[in-house]
Amino acid sequence: MRVSHAHVSGDTITNPVVPGFHPDPSICRVGADYYLACSSFEYFPGVPILHSRDLVHWAQIGNALDRPSQLRLPADMPSSAGIYAPTLRHHDGQFWLITTNVADHGNLLFTTTDPAGPWSDPVRLPGVAGIDPDLVWDDEGNCWCTVAGVAQVRIDPYTGKSLGAPRRIWSGTPGASAPEAPHLYQIGDYWYLLIAEGGTERGHAVSIARGPAATGPFEPCPTNPILTHRGIAHPIQNTGHADLVQAPDDSWWMVLLGVRPRGGTPGWHVLGRETYLVPVAWVDGWPVVGELRPVMPAPAWPLQPAAVAPARDDFDESTLRPHWISVRDRPVAACTTRERVGWLTLRARGRSLDDPDVTFLGRRQQHLSCRARALVDAGQGRGGLAVRLDEQHHYEIEVAAGRVEVFARIGPVRAALAARSVPFGLVTVVVQAATQEPREARSGPDSISLGIEEPDGGFTPLATLDGRYLSTEVGGGFTGRVIGMYAATGTVHFDWFEYEGD
């Protein structure tokens, strides 16, 4: 599936280049090709892999962790646990991906010769404690793993064995919290250690240090942090968790995460942490990060023609496209396109989206204003269309025989908000998110309308809800909204799903 995420107009591009819940980006270049990996937390399959030829247009080509042997996410694992902060590198003819599964066995290492997959089963790293692992090789062939903290240990990447004791190599800026997301690079005469610090909320920042070897000692950049939006009025906030890449023309670029808060005070971000792109220059041996803006100059090289993501999936293929994700796992018995040709079949396990084992198939919400539609046959069960942040924060429109009902779960409260009788048979359910300008300090970021499509094509909303309750600032955690289909009881079939962004 080709997916164009960035908008191009003349000599400018629009950030984020990968919108929606795509946090903790890690990037590498092989020849003229760029590859990007992001965190996936409680969703299966895990670690989306994206490809680009110009750093602007990205297409998801697969998921690194798409088998139960690679990714175990227990049912009792809380949302926003699971897969944290991958690092993606290319070395010695292979792609290497190291990441943390905080719910199962800690740090794991995967390899492949084709980033679209399949990737190997994991090599476990029992001697590497901590999260956000980085991987780099020095000129002597030593492989160094650096983790949040910031601590480092030499490892054998083929066996996972640690070759020595971990040692602290830098603690970041004095007084700054949460030094994390380390990445090491050998550039010119120095080794550079890039980190995030200040926490992944409004205080997030990017800082850097350099030293004569991969092991240091490291001296901090005198102008740290080299990137932060804390304390300033800017439409992009929470900027951090960055990675560097050099283009074929020798220019340097940084990918990083950020969010787009909307509404009044304190501002709510609903799409999760997204991937942004910004240029980097080098001055006196230190990186100087360009201004990160929603609209900024495009790279100097020709950009690919903008490809359009398919808005509709008719479920005509035997396998699902890589952008579809489920909660914790996806057994074939519960989710398949092979049972009823041209339909998606979902078989219920959990009773509702409140349950950690709910049968759910969704895609990341990537636009501040969007519409999702699905044609449902719930004759043998009960299910529908949902907007999910986690088990305690979701809205859904549910179809049962002859009835459509809207539910909301906000923290400890679950409520049925509206209902309507419908003819037995097929029903088209609709979810619409629409941004709104703040009228006063307490205005929310957007509204979410849930309803049905009438036979004449008109939309009848049954409920319109405040979007702030499906935001990170309310629900907490590290993810963003996911819109998709679910089964609550029995078996529910979906003929098609359509997503359109503004």
Residues designated as active site:
24, 180
Question: Which helix (H) or strand (E) covers residue 274, if one does?
Answer: strand 274-283
| CA–CA distance, 431 with 428 (Å, rounded to integer) | 10
- Pick from 199, 204, 256: nearest CA to 27: 256
Chain centroid to CA 20: 7
**Which residues are 466's β-sheet partners?**
447
| CA–CA distance, 48 with 480 (Å, rounded to integer) | 15
| CA–CA distance, 137 with 328 (Å, rounded to integer) | 33
Spatial CB neighbours of 92, under 8 Å, sequence gap ≥ 6? 137
In three-state secondary structure terms, 318 is: coil
| CA–CA distance, 465 with 449 (Å, rounded to integer) | 6
Return the number of other C-beta atoms located less than 10 Å from residue 218's C-beta.
Answer: 20
By the 8 A CB rule, do 374 and 387 touch?
A: no
| CA–CA distance, 82 with 43 (Å, rounded to integer) | 8
| CA–CA distance, 400 with 84 (Å, rounded to integer) | 37
| CA–CA distance, 378 with 399 (Å, rounded to integer) | 6
Q: What is the token pair recorded at 25?
A: 């980006």
In three-state secondary structure terms, 118 is: coil
Q: From the CA atom positions of the chain, what is the Rg in Å?
A: 23
**Which residues are 414's β-sheet partners?**
409
Our CA dihedral for 203, 199, 83, 318, rounded to 10 degrees, sits at: -10
By the 8 A CB rule, do 194 and 211 touch?
A: no
Q: What is the token pair recorded at 220?
A: 């901090």
